[in-house]
């Protein structure tokens, strides 16, 4: 049972880190695209 | 960005397939039991970290030759993703080590050189933050990206060059792995490679957008 706990902890860490990075760079892309559009319109 | 979306979906699907192979398809290891299944994503993360740092190495050289900032963007993006996967390796390793070795950490050559690798590329990313001038930043970072890669073969061969307790699965005959375990490992490596490609495409797009904003703002 203890072995399962370590396994669960390991995969949780993997998916939290990968998920956080995946989502955060995705939202950053859309933010930057909006900013580029705004700056281009200003010009 | 249709390619990006297709790659994102394919990466998520492949990670789900890899999970199926790691948890259901692959047989249980007799001595270690369930915790051995962390090995599939741990080893895949290590391979992707090495590959990511290799990409940084190659594109740092290309930047110094061609002076094209796209190469610098790719080098930076790959180093950041490499750090992410290296962090996963350094966290999942001790989680496996505690039940397998009885300790969270030991200053084994493989563990020590991997930690040094993490610090080298953390230093690379910090250096980029500290230098404001784009040309100087790219040139200095390229030098670190090239010299820092020296540690990657040291990490890989550390288990052959020095006495170590770290398992060696990448060797002739597959390191005694069951054929189904080898299949699960290869699927995981492929899934992580697709994920790496998806992340690199997205992260490089961020770097080029940031450069564009800097030039528009003057």
Residue ranges of the domains in chain B? 55-166
Question: What is the per-residue pLDDT for A19?
Answer: 93
**3-class secondary structure, B76:** helix
Are B216 and A22 an interchain contact pair (Cβ–Cβ within 8 Å)?
no
Spatial separation of the C-alpha atoms in residues B43 and B54, rounded to whole Å: 17
**3-class secondary structure, B29:** strand
Integer-rounded Cα radius of gyration of chain B: 19
Chain A residues within 8 Å of chain B (Cβ atoms): 2-4, 6-7, 9-11, 13-14, 17-18, 21-22, 25-26, 28-29, 32-33, 35-36, 39-40, 43
Which tops the pLDDT comparison, B128 or B32?
B128
pTM recorded for the entire structure: 0.92
Integer-rounded Cα radius of gyration of chain A: 19
Question: pLDDT grade, residue B167 (50/70/90)?
Answer: confident
Question: What pLDDT, in 10s, does the model give residues B37-82?
Answer: 999 999 999 999 999 999 999 999 999 999 999 999 999 999 999 9
Which residues does chain A have within 8 Å of residue B206's beta carbon, measured at their own beta carbons?
Answer: 25, 28-29, 32
pLDDT greater than 90 at residue B101? no
pLDDT greater than 70 at residue B175? no
């Amino acid at each position: 049972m203890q072995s399962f706990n370590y396994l669960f902890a390991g995969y949780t860490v993997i998916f939290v880190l990968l998920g956080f990075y995946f989502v955060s760079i995705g939202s950053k892309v859309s933010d930057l695209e909006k900013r580029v559009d705004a700056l281009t319109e200003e010009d | 960005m249709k390619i990006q979306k297709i790659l994102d979906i394919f990466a998520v699907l492949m990670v789900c397939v890899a999970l199926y192979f790691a948890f259901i398809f692959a047989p249980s290891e007799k001595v270690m039991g369930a915790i051995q299944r962390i090995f599939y994503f741990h080893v895949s993360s290590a391979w992707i970290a090495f590959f990511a740092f290799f990409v940084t190495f190659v594109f740092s050289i290309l930047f110094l030759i061609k002076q094209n900032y796209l190469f610098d963007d790719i080098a930076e993006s790959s180093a950041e993703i490499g750090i992410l996967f290296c962090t996963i390796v350094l966290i999942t390793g001790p989680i496996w080590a505690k039940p397998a070795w009885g300790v969270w950490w030991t200053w084994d050559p493989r563990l020590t050189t991997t930690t040094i690798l993490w610090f080298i590329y953390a230093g690379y990313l910090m250096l980029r933050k500290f230098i404001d001038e784009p040309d100087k930043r790219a040139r200095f970072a390229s030098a670190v990206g090239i010299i820092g890669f020296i540690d990657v073969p040291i990490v890989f061969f550390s288990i052959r060059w020095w006495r170590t307790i770290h398992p060696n699965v990448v060797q002739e005959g597959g390191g005694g792995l069951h054929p189904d375990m080898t299949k699960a490992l290869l699927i995981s490596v492929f899934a992580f490679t697709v994920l790496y490609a998806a992340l690199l495409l997205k992260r490089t797009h961020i770097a080029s957008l940031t450069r564009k904003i800097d030039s528009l703002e003057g």
